[in-house]
Amino acid sequence: MAIEIKATGKSVPSTRLTNDDLAKRLATSDEWIRSHTGIEARHIAGGETACSDLALEAAWAALTMALGQEGCEAKSLEEIALTLDIIIIGTATADYYGCPSTACIIQDKLGARNAAAMDIAAGCSGFIYGLETAAGLLSIGASRKRALVIGADVLSRFVDWDDRGSCILFGDGAGAVLIEKTGNLSTGPDKRGLLRTILRADGSGSEHLVIKRGGSRNAFKPGETIETIPHLEMNGRAVYNFAVKAVTEIIEGLLKEERITIDAVSRIVPHQANARIVAAAAKRLGIPEGKFFLNIKEYANTSAASIPIALDELNRTGELHKGDLIMTVGFGAGLTYGGNLIVF
Ligand code: COA
Instruction: Tell me, using a 6 A CB cutoff, whether residue 158 lines ligand 1.
Output: no
**Which residues are bridge partners to 152 per DSSP?**
174
The whole-angstrom separation of Cα 54 and Cα 252 is: 33
99 has catalytic annotation:
no
Predicted TM-score (pTM) of this structure: 0.97
124 has catalytic annotation:
yes
Catalytic annotation, pick one of 43, 208, 231, 271: 271
Ligand 1: residue whose CA is nearest its atom 3? 28
Which ligand 1 atom is at minimum distance from the Cα of 123? Answer: 48
The whole-angstrom separation of Cα 109 and Cα 107 is: 6
**H and E: helices and strands count for the chain:** 10, 13
Instruction: Tell me, using a 6 A CB cutoff, whether residue 239 lines ligand 1.
Output: yes
Domain boundary assignment for the chain: 2-182, 193-343
Distances (CA, A) of 252 to 198, 246, 285, 300: 11, 10, 8, 26
Backbone angle region of 123, left / alpha / beta, with phi > 0 → left and psi within -120 to 50 → alpha: left
pLDDT at 98: 83
- Fold annotation for 2-182: Peroxisomal Thiolase; Chain A, domain 1 (3.40.47)
Residue 159: pLDDT band (50, 70, 90) is very high
The whole-angstrom separation of Cα 191 and Cα 275 is: 32
In the predicted structure, residue 128 carries a pLDDT above the cut 90: yes
Q: Same CATH topology for 2-182 and 193-343?
A: yes
Do residues 243 and 209 lie in contact, with contact meaning Cβ atoms separated by under 8 Å? no
pLDDT at 29: 97
pLDDT at 189: 84
Do residues 182 and 1 lie in contact, with contact meaning Cβ atoms separated by under 8 Å? yes
The whole-angstrom separation of Cα 63 and Cα 80 is: 7
CATH number, domain 193-343: 3.40.47.10
231 has catalytic annotation:
no
Per-residue model confidence as pLDDT tens digits over 2-53: 999 999 999 999 999 999 999 999 999 999 999 999 999 999 999 899 999 9
pLDDT at 237: 97
10 Å Cβ neighbour count for 319? Answer: 12
Listing DSSP states for 251-317 in one string gives HHHHHHHHT--GGG-SEEEE--S-HHHHHHHHHHHT--GGGB---HHHH-B-GGGHHHHHHHHHHHT
Nearest to 12 by CA among 302, 269, 329: 302
Instruction: Tell me, using a 6 A CB cutoff, whether residue 240 lines ligand 1.
Output: yes
Instruction: Tell me, using a 6 A CB cutoff, whether residue 164 lines ligand 1.
Output: yes
In the predicted structure, residue 187 carries a pLDDT above the cut 90: no
In the predicted structure, residue 232 carries a pLDDT above the cut 90: yes
Distance 237 CA to ligand 1 centre (A): 7
Percentage of the chain beyond pLDDT 90 is: 92
